[in-house]
Amino acid sequence: MILNLLFMFAIFSIVTAGDPNVLIDFVAPNNTIDANYFTFTGMRQLVGGEYPTTFRALKVSMNEFLTLCGQSVSYAILEFPAGSINPVHIHPRASELMFLVSGSLQVGFVDTSNTLYKQSLRIGDVFVFPKGFVHFQYNNDTKEPALAISAFGSANAGTQLIPTSVFNTSIFEGILDASFQATRATIRRIEDGLKE
């Protein structure tokens, strides 16, 4: 019986792991909407487009496509020119399921016991970054770009870039010195690098 309850709880947790459900069919501004309201065309720029010169994430979350509000899903198309990285960051509200469409990527995340799980991904591989953990992606190829599509279990997964959120937000300097057990000069060098 207890086992059954635990199992039920596990299932329940899974079905409630997304954004809160809305109690209407979908969120719409009025009742004269048509199929266009459910169509996002902002990704058409990718078709036949050039790779950017630095890493770029093209997102379709509720910030770009308000129709996603209440739908618990979103996407990001990640373009990695040769040698580029998506710096260490966190998505506070969703897990990320990444599909490598072309090129190769070195990826990894760190769990709460500070274990690093890293992987070399090949075309066709899918990797999951569990919700809320520090993670990164790196195209270690000197010539070939890489393209990945990430799905998120939230309409607004959110992103906190660790370098920016820690070193570019005016956290009182003594706090950073002590946190990283580093001299002020070292911390300032990191801060200055991000201000440029």
Cα–Cα nearest to 77, from 23, 148, 6: 148
**Cβ-based nearer residue to ligand NAG, 6 or 194:** 194
Give the range of 18-26, 29-37, 109-117, 145-153 binding ligand NAG by CB under 6 A.
Answer: 29-37
Q: Write out the E strands in the chain.
A: 56-60, 74-80, 85-90, 96-102, 105-110, 116-121, 126-129, 134-138, 146-152, 160-161
Q: Which of 71, 104, 140, 160 binds ligand NAG (CB under 6 A)?
A: 140
Asked if 106 interacts with ligand NAG (CB under 6 A), we say yes
Asked if 160 interacts with ligand NAG (CB under 6 A), we say no
The DSSP secondary-structure symbol of 155 reads T
Length of the chain: 196
Asked if 99 interacts with ligand NAG (CB under 6 A), we say no
Phi-psi region of 155 (alpha: psi -120 to 50; beta: other; left: phi over 0): alpha
- Provide the 3-class DSSP secondary structure of residue 10: helix
Q: Give me the amino acid identity at 40.
A: F
Asked if 39 interacts with ligand NAG (CB under 6 A), we say no
Site string for ligand NAG, 41-80 (x = CB under 6 A): ----------------------------------------
Q: Which of 71, 104, 160, 168 binds ligand NAG (CB under 6 A)?
A: 168
Q: Give me the amino acid identity at 193.
A: G
Q: Least Å distance between CB 102 and ligand NAG?
A: 18
CB atoms within 10 A of CB 2: 6
Give the range of 32-40, 43-51, 53-61, 122-130 binding ligand NAG by CB under 6 A.
Answer: 32-40
Contact residues for ligand NAG, defined by CB under 6 A: 29-30, 32-33, 37, 106, 138, 140, 164, 168, 194-195
